[in-house]
Amino acid sequence: MKYDLVINNTKTVYTLKKGNVPRIGDELKNLSPNNGFSIAIKDGKIVEMGKNIDGYGEIEIDASKLIALPGFVDPHTHSVFGGNRANEWYRRQLGESYLSILKSGGGIVDTVSKTRNLSREEMIKSTEAKLKRMLLSGTTTVEVKSGYGLNHDTEIMMLETAKELNKYDKFDIVSTYLGAHAIPQEYRENREDYVKLVLDMLDEIKERELAEFVDVFCEEGAFTVKESMKILSKAKSLGFKLRIHADELAESGGSVLAGEIGARSADHLLRISDRGMKAMIDGNVAAVLLPGTAFQMGGEHIPPVRKMIDNGMIIALASDFNPGSCPIYSLPVIISLGVMLYKLTPEEAISAVTINSAYVLDRHSEKGSLEQGKDADILLLDVNDIYEIPYWFGDMHVRYVIKNGKIVYGGDRYE
């Protein structure tokens, strides 16, 4: 039989196979390795795996010195934005507080201004460039949030940008509406009016199919539990899936709300309480951990990751790529930080950026593991085993990135 692509005789294939469900507890440490496996691909899907493939490929790769992993899934990014905040980063290194920077016109206010000033063409071009860099570091599926427009037109344009780029063969994008990211300056005296704007926009976004998820920054200084509940309740009634930024700066109650309302995930969780953890476990809510942000902000607060795992919570890792608190887009770097800062094992970290992250985005039946019938999103790495991925900080020795069955990066070539 003739296949589109055959990957021959891999050193090891880490399949992550587990019946399209997230890994929890000790299961996180089992990546289901198979030595010497070949992988046959046709029409963008994995159609056969094993030591003996019955057929040949139109294109064949000798992978005898390479290991294979599922393409990484990044379930939390803010990839659509204008400009950068490198100057603020340096000011923080000199000891200036975030609040001081915010009062001087920096912080999210600065990014909102720069994002609002982007033309449609500039927004698409700059976002595409970021997504290409992610792809070259192994991210084959990515969630993209709005949230730096904070008005009708820019928020819509951000979601339109994600939808447009999702048409490209190289990217699988899952869009999230995060109008409830912050109260914009022009609404500071009338925050109720801004909450109403967010609520009103939900109908248009649903009708135009511009987002699959709705997220809320339920946090001290952002949106209250009551406001978050109001927004998420309407989103749920319209058929959106739900996410929550929770318990990052303080014990906000966001994790409890996530459990009560049935959110898919609660993210950050640096200051989660036992009550919040129980609510999430009871509600089957995944914990999306963002060690890059904790690292960038000084690493003073670490979530109780081991306690989460021991209690059977679903955990995932994500970049939180954004211009302010985490300008890191590379999931290999996030894996390293997850191991060093959050004390995950390499196996746990890889489970958290593959099958579990795919679960967070409701893509676990298509992505996140290497098995027959799933999308052929595959990474081939020139390393001996998965322990070298966190070891080679920032460079996991990618030799091929295969996206939907096509080689989008091979050796030094990018198409």
Q: Count helices and strands (H / E) in the chain.
A: 15, 19
Please give the distance of CA 172 from its chain centroid, rounded to a whole number.
12
Each residue's pLDDT tens digit, 171-213 = 899 999 999 999 999 999 999 999 999 999 999 999 999 999 9
CATH 3.40.630.30 for the 73-360 domain, yes or no = no
3-state DSSP assignment of residue 261: helix
Distance CA 174, CA 187 (A): 29
**Contacts of residue 30, Cβ cutoff 8 Å, sequence gap at least 6:** 23, 347
Looking at residue 411, its pLDDT comes to: 56
In the annotated binding site for N-formimidoyl-L-glutamate, the residues are 148, 322, 324
CATH 3.30.590.10 for the 2-70+368-414 domain, yes or no = no
pTM score: 0.96
Please give the share of the chain, as a percent, with pLDDT higher than 70.
Answer: 98
Residue 318 pLDDT > 50:
yes
DSSP conformation letters of 133-149: HHHHTTEEEEEEE--S-
In the annotated binding site, the residues are 76, 78, 85, 148, 181, 245, 248, 320, 322, 324-325
Each residue's pLDDT tens digit, 105-122 = 777 889 999 999 999 999
In the annotated binding site for Zn(2+), the residues are 76, 78, 245, 320
DSSP conformation letters of 200-256: HHHHHHHHTT--SEEEEEESTTSB-HHHHHHHHHHHHHHT-EEEEEESSSS--SHHH
DSSP conformation letters of 90-106: HHHHTT--HHHHHHTT-
In the annotated binding site for Fe(3+), the residues are 76, 78, 245, 320
Query: What are the structure tokens assigned to 106, written together?
Result: 């920096």
Give the count of alpha carbons within 13 A of 120, CB side only. 9
Can you point out the beta strands (E) in 283-353?
286-289, 315-317
Can you point out the beta strands (E) in 297-374?
315-317
User: DSSP code of 179?
Assistant: E
Partners of 3 in the β-ladder:
57
Q: What is the dihedral of CA 195, 201, 206, 208, to 10 degrees?
A: -160
Each residue's pLDDT tens digit, 242-252 = 999 999 988 99
Residue 415 pLDDT > 70:
no
In the annotated binding site for 4-imidazolone-5-propanoate, the residues are 85, 148, 181, 248, 325
Domain chopping of the chain, boundaries: 2-70+368-414, 73-360
Looking at residue 244, its pLDDT comes to: 98
Each residue's pLDDT tens digit, 255-307 = 999 999 999 999 999 999 999 999 999 999 999 999 999 998 887 889 999 99
Q: Stretch 157-169: mean pLDDT, rounded? A: 95
